[in-house]
Amino acid sequence: MTTVWRGLFLLPLLIVVGNCNIPFLDEISNPSHGLMNFFGGNNNDAPTNDGGNTGDGGVFFKTDGKGNDDKGDVDTATPKVGGGDVKSTNYKGIWELFTENSGVSAMHLVILPKIDQALMFDATIWNISKINLPPPCRKLDDTGKEDCFAHSVLMDIETAELRPLRIEHDTWCSSGALDINGQLVSTGGYNNGSDTVRYLADGKATEWEEFPGALGRGRWYSTQVTLGDGRFMVFGGRNMPSYEFVPAKGQKNTLQQVIDFPFLAQTNDKNENNLYPHIYLSTDGNLFIFANDRSILLNPNTNQIVFEFPVLPGGSRNYPASGSSCLLPIKLKPDDNRRIIPAEVLICGGAQKESFTLTDFKRPKEFPEANRDCARIDITKRNGKWKIQNMPSPRVMGDAVLLPNGEHVLIVNGAKAGTAGWDDARNPNLTPVLYKIRGGQGSKKFKELKHSDIPRMYHSSFALLPDAKVMIAGSNTNPGYYDNALFPTETRIEKFSPHYFDPNLDKYRVQIQAENSPNQIKYGHKFTVQVTVQDEKMNEADVKVTIYYPAFTTHGISMNQRLIELGLYQVKESGSETFDIDVQAPMNGNIAPPGYYMLFVNFKSVPCRRAIWVQLL
């Protein structure tokens, strides 16, 4: 019976591989590794699903015998606190276990505006998760079987309450971004989802709308980017060296609307190393595109490459040699009329070009050390050079989080050895690192913070929250849901409170008065944010107002993550412990694309108690 079960499960996957001629389909196609290797040996390790109700979160798993309380609990030890400002604090943060079970392992994660819900989803192909789908069950294609598990959930970021969502077209390794109204637009995925465009509105009762066939080409491991006018483009995907504009809702692209992109073919190694390219909208309207070890500027209006940057030495930084990246905070001035607004990109970690061959194909597996370097470059200069410094430890599959005070990047998640892929990494990197954006050289550029106890390996994710904490989720190195693997499928969610949560700094944590502050701002217009703070006087030198565009995170890629420091006019006392802060919205969409942002007020580099959502139009 076991042989029959394996055959039925694998037959459609092998047909796809054979018909699609995917030579490096590492997650499925090679019989010496990947999926087949996981289903060999102990038959009890394979996921099962008979379509019934488990009665307990929809789980058909063994436990690892360790229980659920030995990892990720709140750190009850008194953390070391420091001085009276962020620069001098020795506080290394604190971890809290937010929930034991998120229902699905968060391969993809994004915060939806206004409703304070985290959207998490993984893949439909496994036909299993840790939460049931409300009736009726999902009908599987041409098999007569049913899938009664949810593969997408909404989670309240304060209570952890879950609502399972029905999704039909496979989202495995897909892409996405929020539109001007705060709706998620998701593209691509696997098999029947590869050419699908999906929509999820920002209401608590919302459900997915799916449009298969909307893309001109199927896209798996592609990157979606938002342009200054709010349109989306989607780049690449496995064996897809091309890009296209995402069509309007309900419309379909033709092959004539797919644009060949030889750059992605040129950067494709035998191990790929160029999937999920790092892409950012520059302040001049061009797109910075980094794949493998090369990077260019592409004019999205003319489809012409306008500049190529120097090669970044030292290995590869894209899947499966997955490094992390971010567009560093953009700093504006009031009435900013500069012709060029500087913008820099940071890329950290990754792996050597040959690492995936050693981890995924060689037997026994080898796990080379990951890259240690962090490199940054000004993408608005034509003579820019990479500035490279080393992190305290190697890291692959990490995430780069823009913190709301605009002074640090939090580098978190990932492993110290190996690559992305099924069981292709070892030595979890449990210690988050602060990268100092301005100032500092060598070891002073980085600061290690409090470590977690939960490995966050392949398929991990993060989200910056309105209270300035960082949600950490996901991790699944297995083709399915396994509790007894070396790195079990992870559905625990943590929240990390960074260094600015030092109790000594709590007096600087202002409260935004939402009722006296706008929820919609216009390009170039001046507006006022009102805050309250006890026993402190505020002035312009100690205040920053920032807006943060929520990232769509997956595979170490933070699509469209963006932080802008607004031009500040004045801070004036307007009442007892109350201050009005006059700032200016960004001048145009190339600086900040239209849509919903979290607005933070930072006093003495300490973020406010809670951001407010503002729509930039």
Number of Cα atoms under 13 Å in the Cβ half of residue 204 = 9
pLDDT value at position 368? 98
Judge whether 468 and 512 are in contact, CB under 8 Å. no
Q: pLDDT > 90: what percent of the chain?
A: 81
pTM value is 0.88
Distances (CA, A) of 461 to 303, 413, 455: 31, 8, 12
Whole-number Å distance between alpha carbons of 435 and 363: 37
DSSP for residue 7:
H
Phi-psi region for residue 441, left (φ > 0), alpha (ψ -120 to 50) or beta? beta
pLDDT value at residue 80: 54
Residue partners of 280: CB distance under 8 A and separation at least 6: 225, 287, 288, 327, 343, 345, 379
Task: Give the chain's mean pLDDT.
Answer: 88
SS3 label, residue 251: coil
Q: What is the CA radius of gyration of the chain?
A: 23
Burial class (CB in 10 A: 0-12, 13-18, 19+), 81: middle
CA dihedral (436, 496, 126, 212) in degrees, to 10, reads -60
For position 60, what pLDDT does the model report?
Answer: 26
Each residue of 139-166: pLDDT tens digit?
887 778 999 999 999 999 999 999 999 9
Nearest to 464 by CA among 410, 527, 500: 410
pLDDT of residue 205: 86
Note if the bond before 394 is cis, omega within 30 degrees: no
Q: Could you identify the residue written with the tokens 């507006």?
A: 527
Rounded Cα distance, 99 and 493, in Å: 5
Q: What residues in the chain have per-residue pLDDT under 70?
A: 1-84
* Cα–Cα distance measured from residue 93 to residue 75, given in angstroms and rounded to the nearest whole number: 10
For 245, list phi and psi in degrees, rounded to 5: -80, 140
User: Which residues have CB under 8 Å from 40's CB, separation 6+?
Assistant: none
Report the C-alpha gap between 420 and 277 in whole angstroms: 14
pLDDT attached to residue 87: 80
Can you name the residues that pair with 247 across neighbouring β-strands? none
pLDDT tens-digit readout, 419-467: 999 999 999 999 999 999 998 777 789 999 999 999 999 999 999 999 9
Is residue 446 within 8 Å of residue 391, measured between CB atoms?
yes
Q: Which domains does the chain have, with CATH numbers?
A: 508-616 (2.60.40.10)
